[in-house]
Chains A and B, each alone.
Chain A
Amino acid sequence: MKQLKTNNVMLHTLVRIVSFVVLAFSIYLFFAGHNNPGGGFIGGLMTAAAFVLLYLSFNMKTLKKALPFNFDLLIGGGLLIAFLTGVTSMLFGFPFLTQFFEYVQIPFMGEVELTTALPFDLGVYLVVLGAALTIILTIAEDDK
């Protein structure tokens, strides 16, 4: 792709703000899951969208600088986290993927529901983020 030599200050400034809004919303979505709309998949996609936005307005080099690690590690790590969450219940003699939850009082936050679905969702989040970024950026990198 030919780099157009236009001055896109507007885009850069906006993307700097918007991408953080998107990132924040993606984290909200991630935690909202389980009992409400949201969850790891949607959160992961949204985070990936924020990074793709960064790539679109800046370039590959800047993005790589901001995220200086290999996305494949995200996929592998995510799969492992999801797997280990499922296996934990096997160690206590329950069937694979049995859910446990507990209401806990955390200072400043009041009563919070802690479930084993959360680390599982974290795994999903990482896998989706890694996979989406890998796929999109593979094609993007090819363009130069």
Chain B
Amino acid sequence: MIYCLFTIVFVISVYTARHYWFTLNRLFGVQRHPYIDTDTANWPQVTILVAAHNEEKVVANILSALMSVNYPSDRMLVVPVNDRSTDRTREIIDSFVEQFPGRIRPFHRTGGKGGKAAALKDAMELVETEAILIFDADYIPGSGLIKQLVAPFFDPEVGGVMGRVVPLNVGTNLLTRLLDLERSGGYQVDQQARMNLHLVPQHGGTVAGVRLSALREIGGWNENSLTEDTDLTYRLLLNGWQTVYQNRSECYEEVPENWPVRIRQIMRWAKGHNQALAAYGLYLLFGKHRATFRERIDGTLLLGVYAMAPVTLVGWLLALGVFYEGIVPLHGIIALFAFTAYAAVGNFAAFFEIAAAVRLDYTRRRICLLPFLVLGFAVSIFSVSRAFVSQVLAPITGAQFHWDKTERFRTTP
């Protein structure tokens, strides 16, 4: 029991050190934005896929925004991927097709396997361009975003590109405000630090791009994956393609406004991530492929992020067990120092990261909400652990993976 606890403490310490490394890198390190200054070029043809499943509340916003971006209109084709919608999504898309002839080619999907990856896979029959961008329907791209996301494809090493997601409905309630802080930490610090350090920035599946030849080389979209973005990141990595992160390519999104929707969202992410962990974890770490040594280490740690929730819960239970068993693992004073040090430094690593992100964003008072993140953390750890357990038990219970669409809350069409 004590050795299990030691192992868990070691793994948690590795993640703690990683949090600090990333945060300090963002605060004091050299920042990499290698493609952001590409403002003049012979811009290539690009296809923009807009994933839409029952998106009548939001799809008009993104199509309007895409029709007014600063990109040569004769080199840009928008493909709304209408995945079996039962609301007015099709009607709205078709009205835009009429309004902007030749610039939008809809893909109305009426059957087939559910899920975004499966829909994107089917929509690839309309894609002929090397540069492909992907947006979820609730995003609102700004004028310069398309050029910024296409620019990395001038680099022949780049297979995927990811922009920054910025919540739009921040002020709605406590949950949206907490998600705003989490997104800040995740993108402003985590993703950019991985970019700076030549590690593994993660493809997010929206505000993102992929190179057609790279996608074909790795076998296309994996329709069995619950998180096609994570799956894509690792298959690109294993084949020597880089995914790059563009912190200044910001795009508004809508975050969940109630806890049940948030819990379903994070459980889907956890299951998808754990799928990728099972599929690629050992091979990434020990296999013969094109990833570098530091990409192997960081990629493995990134894959394990969601698995850490149940591991932490087990660690807590083991700690209680050790206490009631009366086992003294280390000399008392060393244990006391270790406990104090971890309480002061380790517990706050993620919070420090978010605080640094808020500072880098030049916002001020929202940092006051930091203590409430304990609530978000508690919900996450139990939701993710629940997802993990249900996934492990799936072969016994016979439960099937299914794709939960995130509910939209926008009221103005």
A, B bound: no
Question: B residues near A, CB below 8 A?
Answer: none
